[in-house]
Amino acid sequence: MKVYITRKIQSKAIKYLRDNGLTVSVYKEDKPIPKSVLIKNIKNIDALIPLLTDKIDEEIIDSMTKCKIIANFAVGYENIDVDYAKRKNIIVTNTPDVLTDSTADLAMTLALACSRRLFESRKLIDDGKFKHWKPNLLLGYEIKDKIFGIIGAGRIGEATAKRAYAFGAKIFYHSRSVNNKMEKDLNAKKVSLNKLLNISDFISLHIPSNEKTFHLLNKDNLKLLKRNAVIINTARGDIIDEVELAKILKKGKIFSVGLDVYENEPKIHPELLKLNKIVLMPHIGSATVEARTAMAMLAAKNVVNFLHWGKPITPV
By CB under 6 A, tell whether 96 contacts ligand GLV.
no
Q: For strand 69-71 and strand 47-49, is the pairing parallel, antiparallel, or unpaired?
A: parallel
By CB under 6 A, tell whether 67 contacts ligand GLV.
no
Q: In this chain, which stretch among 73-81, 83-91, 198-206, 242-250 interacts with ligand GLV, using CB under 6 A?
A: 73-81
- Specify the residue, 147 or 156, whose C-beta has the smaller distance to ligand GLV: 156
By CB under 6 A, tell whether 52 contacts ligand GLV.
yes
- Specify the residue, 115 or 314, whose C-beta has the smaller distance to ligand GLV: 314
263 classed as catalytic: no
- Specify the residue, 100 or 256, whose C-beta has the smaller distance to ligand GLV: 100
# chain residues binding ligand GLV, by CB under 6 A: 7
Exactly one of 14, 42, 49, 74 binds ligand GLV (CB under 6 A); that residue is 74
122 classed as catalytic: no
Which value, in Å, is the radius of gyration of the alpha carbons in the chain?
21
Exactly one of 75, 147, 197, 303 binds ligand GLV (CB under 6 A); that residue is 75
Of residues 236, 242, 263, 292, which has the active-site annotation? Answer: 236
Of residues 78, 183, 244, 265, which has the active-site annotation? Answer: 265
Contact track, ligand GLV, 272-301, x by CB under 6 A: -------------xx---------------
Query: Annotated active-site positions, please?
Result: 236, 265, 283
